[in-house]
Chain A
Amino acid sequence: MDMNEKFPIVQLITGDGRRTGAISENITIEKAKRFYQHMVFSRLFDRKAVNLQRQGRIGTYAPFEGQEASQIGSALAMEDGDWMFPTYRDHAATAAFGHSLKNIFLYWKGCIEGCVPPKGKHIFPPSVPIASQILHATGTAWAEQKKGTDRVSIVYFGDGATSEGDFHEGLNFSSVFNIPVVFFNQNNGYAISVPLERQMKTKTIAQKALAYDIPGVRVDGNDVFAVYDETIKAVERARSGGGPTLIEAVTWRYGAHTTTDEPSKYRDQSESKRRRENEDPITRVERFLEHEGAWDSNWAENVHEEAEQKLDEAVIEMEKTIKSDESLMFDHVFGTDVWPVQEQKHRFFYEGSEKG
């Protein structure tokens, strides 16, 4: 069977902003505006972060420009009390889910306190070891199931992560125990420089759900309506005891893996240009609003201005911290006093030679 046919890419709005004819209650002007606001904010955040890195004001950064619809559409489908497990490229998702902007910036500035989410928000620090966070989403959601709540976990990971054992172990555990998790894959075509066809022979990532007998769906990751719609379905299924879902959001990162690499070395960047012109997630909503007669350029200008202002404020807040308090290095290794750590801390602070 042709897996491209079995797992067609779900699309609600085409690249030029027209309805595909698929019916969804989520295609509304109100939602379009909300999505647009979040996506514009995310893109400006991402560009701001890249600039801050270039200026040496934060460290190495992993940009996501081009993937805004995947992250915003999925994050807005989640509710307070749910759990979110991002990678290092998912700040659009974590910000939309309520993370502190200052903290997101602080993390990239090399301050561990940037990992701490606002109270009441279950947002995990970006996971660096690829696919490892998939199991934590599985475990926290398993705990919710055991407590008898209707809360769920969403976990983000890329195409490369599907080669890791933890991806398969997480899907398998969730499948066996019917755990309420949304496995949200952003297939952006490349794991740093390695293209999808070197990562897998399968034509889709969604089809890997077949091996675990769980629903798998492939969605246009640049169509925020489709992403939102499919994530809502997966979340509702999980909340109502229907178990996990694997979502493959097919997208593209326009830029580099991180600020330390140059994508033109391993791929033709004209593809990024083409996709930006034809499939961009933000332009798509703009065109949609135009077709629907709801585009208001003054409103859009305000959206941009408000975003810039919010970002500037967050950067000012971030820059009030020059470096983390040194005690943070020692104080949260254990919940009890453990003498080697206590002694080393004492040496660092009071015995002169180490802190100088």
Chain B
Amino acid sequence: MSTAVNTKKLTIVQAITDALREMLAEDESVLVLGEDVGKNGGVFRATDGLFEQFGDDRVIDTPLAESGLIGSSIGLAMNGFKPVVEIQFLGFIYPGFNQLITHATRIRTRTQSRYTVPLTVRAPYGSGVRAPEIHSDSTEALFTHIPGLKVVVPSNPYDAKGLLISSIKDPDPVLFLEPMKIYRAGKEDVPTESYSVPLGKASVKRTGDDVSIFAWGAMVRVAEKAAEEASKNGMHCDVIDLRTLYPLDKDAIAESVQKTGRAIIVHEAPSTGGVSNDVIEIINDTSFLFMRAPIKKVTGYDTPVPLFTLEDDYAPDEKKIYRAIEEVTRF
């Protein structure tokens, strides 16, 4: 980052507010809609101050109905607006799933681009904050499976702002997942001006020649810690933050595993049908002959996310990742 750029210290959730403020100011067609996004500033304060600055016409508290919220935002999007919808928790999006899968993501195809849906749906996701039931889901793979939808997950404040701006500017629907465990996990320098982080591009968080670890959201930091520990014992890891889960950054995945020959994919979501499988497919397609060990997955279990006394047992942690690093290294 150039020293000429003005920055401020922001958490992930503040960086999201900043992105929304930039976009509301820059583009009159941008609207923020959701439950409690107005005066209350959102259940996580992600829209804090926006109602006061932009008013009820732009920052809109809607009735409590996720299908109604997403469905009517599809209509707004088809008719000239760029709605940014907040779903309070990813686990609450399911009543609106039909609108996403049968309409938001098909209207471009169905009308051969006569009508399009530049819609961003934001949703906090993941476990780790001692939340009540259904508040901790990581069901990103349900959405990467939907043709026509991009799925984006930041892991730090800088990316959160830049990726959200790119998502809002994208001409198609984007599901923007916010790792709530690290919403306020620390502040980073974030440029005060508007900037984009491109969708579909991974970010290398750490480099090492022995193992490639792929992660996103809150798992990136956990993977980094495990990699740090492993390096003390001579096992050096690439840690790649995938950042966009659809479309995945095929080149970044291939480049890393062709160097290391070993891969671990980490996610909170259940193992079966997880996005990890798509990473494995890319490795098979691009790098099969480079591999020196079977690919490992460190994931949540094929169980509902447990209530919070067990949530630390459920999610991947440093130890589980460390063990996987050892396994693939010693294979």
Give chain A's interface residues, CB within 8 Å of chain B.
Answer: 83, 112-113, 115-117, 124-125, 127-129, 132, 134-144, 146-147, 153, 165-166, 169-170, 172-173, 176, 328, 331-336, 338-341
**A136 x B114 contact (CB < 8 A):** no
Q: Give the interface centre of A117, A127, A137, A170 by most chain B CB atoms within 10 Å.
A: A170
Chain B contacts for A166, CB-based, 8 A: 67-68, 71, 99
**B75 x A335 contact (CB < 8 A):** no
Closest to B101 in A: A129
A261 to B22, CA, bound (A): 55
Proximity bits, B188-215, A CB within 8 Å = 1, else 0: 0000000000001000000000000000
Closest to A170 in B: B68
Q: Give the interface centre of B70, B71, B109, B150 by most chain A CB atoms within 10 Å.
A: B71
Within 8 A of A (CB), among B103-140: 103, 108-116
- Does B79 reach chain A (CB closer than 8 Å)? yes
Q: Knowing A129-B102, A335-B172 touch, does A140 contact B113 (C-beta < 8 A)?
A: no
- Does B295 reach chain A (CB closer than 8 Å)? no
Within 8 A of A (CB), among B7-32: none
How many A-B contacts if CB must be within 8 Å? 134
**A132 x B102 contact (CB < 8 A):** yes
**B114 x A116 contact (CB < 8 A):** yes
Chain B contacts for A336, CB-based, 8 A: 170-172
Which 9 A-B pairs rank lowest in CB-CB distance, beginning with the nearest? A139-B75, A135-B71, A169-B68, A143-B79, A335-B171, A139-B72, A140-B75, A136-B75, A140-B79
Give chain B's interface residues, CB within 8 Å of chain A.
Answer: 57, 62-63, 65, 67-68, 70-81, 95, 98-99, 102-103, 108-116, 147-148, 150, 170-172, 200, 246-247, 250
**B102 x A138 contact (CB < 8 A):** no
From A112, A141, A341, give the contact of B75 (CB < 8 A): A141
From A117, A147, A170, A335, give the contact of B71 (CB < 8 A): A170
Chain A contacts for B108, CB-based, 8 A: 332-335
**A172 x B76 contact (CB < 8 A):** no
From A140, A172, A338, give the contact of B247 (CB < 8 A): A338
**B171 x A333 contact (CB < 8 A):** no
Q: A169-B68, A332-B109 are in contact. List 8 more A-B contacts (CB 8 A).
A: A128-B102, A132-B98, A146-B76, A166-B68, A333-B147, A335-B113, A335-B172, A336-B170
From A116, A128, A129, give the contact of B111 (CB < 8 A): A116
Chain A contacts for B77, CB-based, 8 A: 139
Chain B contacts for A334, CB-based, 8 A: 108, 148, 150, 171-172
**B63 x A165 contact (CB < 8 A):** no
**A339 x B113 contact (CB < 8 A):** no
> Min CB distance, B254 to chain A, in Å?
12
A140 to B250, CA, bound (A): 37
> Min CB distance, A208 to chain B, in Å?
16
**B103 x A328 contact (CB < 8 A):** no
Q: Knowing A166-B71, A336-B171 touch, does A125 contact B76 (C-beta < 8 A)?
A: no
**B103 x A136 contact (CB < 8 A):** yes
A66 to B67, CA, bound (A): 33
**A139 x B147 contact (CB < 8 A):** no
Q: Knowing A165-B67, A335-B116 touch, does A132 contact B99 (C-beta < 8 A)?
A: yes
**A339 x B247 contact (CB < 8 A):** yes
Closest to A342 in B: B247
A165 to B66, CA, bound (A): 10
A338 to B172, CA, bound (A): 11
Closest to B116 in A: A335
Q: Give the interface centre of B79, B99, B150 by most chain A CB atoms within 10 Å.
A: B79
Chain B contacts for A173, CB-based, 8 A: 62-63, 65, 68, 72
A64 to B68, CA, bound (A): 28
**A115 x B112 contact (CB < 8 A):** yes
Chain A contacts for B75, CB-based, 8 A: 135-143, 153
A129 to B96, CA, bound (A): 13
Chain B contacts for A172, CB-based, 8 A: 63, 65, 68
> Min CB distance, B24 to chain A, in Å?
14
Closest to B72 in A: A139
**A116 x B74 contact (CB < 8 A):** no
A335 to B109, CA, bound (A): 10
Chain A contacts for B115, CB-based, 8 A: 124
**A139 x B110 contact (CB < 8 A):** no
**B67 x A135 contact (CB < 8 A):** yes
Closest to A343 in B: B250
A10 to B172, CA, bound (A): 44
**A333 x B109 contact (CB < 8 A):** yes
Q: Knowing A143-B79, A146-B81 touch, does A125 contact B63 (C-beta < 8 A)?
A: no
A147 to B95, CA, bound (A): 29
Chain B contacts for A125, CB-based, 8 A: 110-111
> Min CB distance, A175 to chain B, in Å?
9
A147 to B28, CA, bound (A): 11
